[in-house]
Homo-oligomer: A and B are copies of this chain.
């Protein structure tokens, strides 16, 4: 399996997007985002996406150089029309806009419509965290999840991401699908010819199933919560009603939702801690809670309790030191794209 230096990988990714028509700024943002997703261990949101993104640029679904268009704006809120530019570019600028507003006024909300896949949400809360602000980001997508008690795909995996400054090396960073799992986990099991555990999936008739293939044959993901799945459904709908309805991006199951190429209707809330309490004291409070948990007794066979955000930091340390493993298939696809643009990929990759 190819093991790639993150620095070389980012460089290659930058060159690919430049070759596809992105500006220096766009290519830098997208390449940095994808490689950081790999570093965090979220390979489903890493450089594997080059394949889809380049396809979308070539088909016209993604528009390099699209205007960052603020269609509504007050000192504390904004609605951005992304005009189908690179999702990462639109989302990054929108979060920066929200941080600027919150730095002045203590609180801000920014909605985004006409926006392509924005990738890993946790990458954006790192912007609020660098500014000692709480970031809450939600985004909708195409329907893959059944309502609680239903059989049809009517809700997206609608993730919720929250970044909280902790005063520790590792921030509190929750980045979760409101379904039991995101679709990527099903795809991995299918590729490995493995079953999925109980409670993840139903087949097209609404029966519980452990066969990942049933999902791709018209089945659906289940909302978070099992017997209390109305909670996962409710959280998923909240994401749709903020990211889809409030921004005019369209809710996942609605007629106005753009299925082709997908759409990430996004809503961002930024809270400036210093307008509510002392930021230093705030971090001490968060740190105390995390210490209480980290130092508490674990259940049998549990070595350590991980706070949301910790697994990503551990992956990052490891992968910065050891390089990023990329599957043969993905690497070949990326290599093919690179070669189409006349780029050289093989002289720096280690293959084991």
Contacts and interface: CB of A to CB of B under 8 A. Distances in A.
Contact of A255 (B151, B162, B288): B288
Contact of A154 (B206, B255, B292): B292
A189 interface: no
Interface centre among A197, A242, A273, by most chain B C-beta atoms within 10 angstroms, is A242
22 contacts: A74-B105, A107-B108, A147-B293, A149-B298, A149-B299, A150-B297, A151-B296, A162-B234, A176-B231, A180-B225, A197-B227, A199-B227, A206-B297, A206-B300, A207-B300, A224-B231, A245-B285, A246-B273, A253-B289, A253-B293, A255-B288, A269-B269
A152 to B, nearest CB: 4
Given A149-B305, A251-B285, 4 more contacts: A181-B228, A224-B228, A241-B286, A251-B289
Nearest to A151: B297
Nearest to A281: B248
Contacts of A111: 276
A76 B76 contact: yes
A306 B147 CA distance: 9
Contact of A277 (B227, B248, B273, B286): B248
Given A231-B224, A298-B206, A271 B174 contact: no
> What's the dominant secondary structure at chain A's contact region?
mixed
Contacts of A331: none
A68 interface: no
A72 interface: yes
A293 B245 contact: no
A42 B325 CA distance: 52
Given A231-B224, A255-B288, A308-B234, A109 B271 contact: yes
Interface in A142-179: 147-152, 154, 160, 162, 164, 172, 174, 176
A107 B105 CA distance: 11
A79 interface: yes
B107 A77 contact: yes
Nearest to A231: B176
Given A225-B224, A298-B206, A299-B151, A176 B234 contact: yes
Contact of A72 (B77, B206, B276): B276
A238 B174 contact: yes
Contacts of A105: 74, 76
A244 B225 CA distance: 25
